[in-house]
């Protein structure tokens, strides 16, 4: 992956959009002290150059899809000559059940996030699809029980501190 040079204005625009994908051109222009047309050009270039890959909204899915199952699966892989882990990773990320794939250091090579309607669906994915991919040596599945914070967003109601007050 080749490095992409971004000046200070471009970097600030990216930070603003990262925090609020709905930020409007005029809001961004005020925050970076630049004309609206300049902001539009930056954003268009970022989209064309695949720096901005899309726009999303943070949704607390665990409140909406109460029975959906998510799993984090550690995968040990035998890397292939000349392509390393990339071909196995691609075979994995092509499955619709897979929402994320990361290359790791440590005891496992890949971390795969999977979603399914129920535990059985996820288990079948692991045993019948993931484990049968050539190059996959072993898997360890961890089922997500509760999310507290994701992508910097706190997902649980924050009650008052549970610590006892300090008295003099």
The predicted model gives 37-58 an average pLDDT of 92
Model pLDDT, residue 26: 96
87 and 114 together in one domain:
yes
Beta bridge partners of 154: 149
Q: What whole-number distance in Å separates Cα of residue 98 and Cα of residue 121?
A: 12
CB 157 within 8 A of CB 148: no
Which pTM does this prediction carry? 0.70
Give me the pLDDT at residue 78, please.
94
| Residue 167 pLDDT class (50, 70, 90 cuts) | low
Q: Give every CB contact of residue 62 below 8 A, 6+ residues apart in sequence.
A: 146, 147, 155
Share the mean pLDDT of the chain.
90
Same domain, yes or no: 38 and 71: no
- Convert the pLDDT of each residue in 98-147 to its tens digit: 999 999 999 999 999 999 999 999 999 999 999 999 999 999 999 998 88
Give residue 164's pLDDT band: very low, low, confident or very high (50, 70, 90).
low
Residues 88 and 109 placed together within one structural domain of the fold: yes
Question: What CATH number did the domain enclosing 121 receive?
Answer: 3.30.70.920
Residue 76: name the closest of 95, 65, 67, 89 by CA: 89
C-alpha to C-alpha distance for 111 and 133, rounded to whole angstroms: 15
Whether 109 and 76 have beta carbons less than 8 Å apart is answered as yes
Residue 19 counted as domain residue: yes
- The predicted pLDDT at position 165 comes to 62
| 133, 92: one domain | yes
Q: What is the dihedral of CA 126, 140, 132, 82, to 10 degrees?
A: 130
Residue of higher predicted confidence among 65 and 17: 17
Is there a domain that residue 22 lies in? yes
């Amino acid at each position: 992956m080749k490095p992409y040079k971004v000046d200070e204005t471009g970097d600030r625009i990216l930070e603003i959009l990262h925090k609020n994908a709905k930020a409007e051109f005029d809001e961004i222009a005020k925050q970076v002290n630049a004309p609206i047309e300049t902001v539009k050009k930056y954003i268009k270039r970022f989209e064309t150059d695949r720096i901005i890959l899309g726009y999303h909204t943070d949704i607390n899915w665990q409140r909406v899809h109460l029975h959906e199952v998510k799993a984090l699966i550690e995968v040990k892989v035998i890397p292939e000559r000349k392509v390393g882990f990339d071909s196995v990773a691609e075979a994995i990320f092509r499955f619709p059940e897979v929402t994320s794939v990361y290359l790791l250091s440590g005891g496992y090579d890949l971390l795969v996030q999977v979603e399914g309607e129920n535990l059985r669906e996820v288990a079948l994915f692991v045993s019948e699809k993931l484990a049968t991919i050539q190059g996959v040596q072993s898997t360890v599945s961890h089922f997500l029980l509760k999310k507290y914070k994701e992508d910097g967003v706190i997902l649980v109601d924050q009650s008052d501190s549970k610590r006892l007050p300090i008295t003099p």
